[in-house]
Amino acid sequence: MLVFKLAVLAFVAAVLSLALKKDQPAYAFLVSVCAVGGVLVIVIQQIRPVMEWLQALAGAFSGKEISCLLRVLGIAIVAQLTSDICKEAGMSAAATATELCGRICALFQALPLLQDLLDSYAGYLQ
């Protein structure tokens, strides 16, 4: 049911934004940003059980792996959201640069995990 509520919110925001875009483009952008904010608030409330599960899972590992994955996931979400906002504002070059920056930052955050994986693999081969 939550997906349908989010879909209705997005649809209403899209129709309202399209109606306002011709006469009041600033208000159309504001409606889009508010709709995204509302969806994010709802989604963040739904993430709590997943975060509790990840914390329980982190107890089984050293914690370094889970925290690294969470940082990469956070970077990916923030970069995608920022890119989408830039695209909505008509700034496609800034959106592309944001996506690229997000990918590079996620790669740099994942390097320690990749190094541990390669060390494990090298130890297995010996």
Domain holding 99, by residue range, is 61-126
Residues 82 and 126 occupy one common structural domain:
yes
Three-state secondary structure call for residue 60: coil
Q: How many domains does the chain have?
A: 2
The per-residue pLDDT for range 19-50, each reduced to its tens digit, is 888 888 889 888 888 888 888 888 888 888 88
- 27 & 65 share domain: no
Residues 67, 119: one domain? yes
- Reported pTM: 0.62
Which of 9, 71, 6 is closest to 45 using CA atoms?
6
User: For the segment 88-122, what is each residue's pLDDT rounded down to a tens digit?
Assistant: 888 999 999 999 999 999 999 989 888 888 888 88
Question: Does 54 map to a domain?
Answer: no
Q: And the tokens for 124?
A: 């297995």
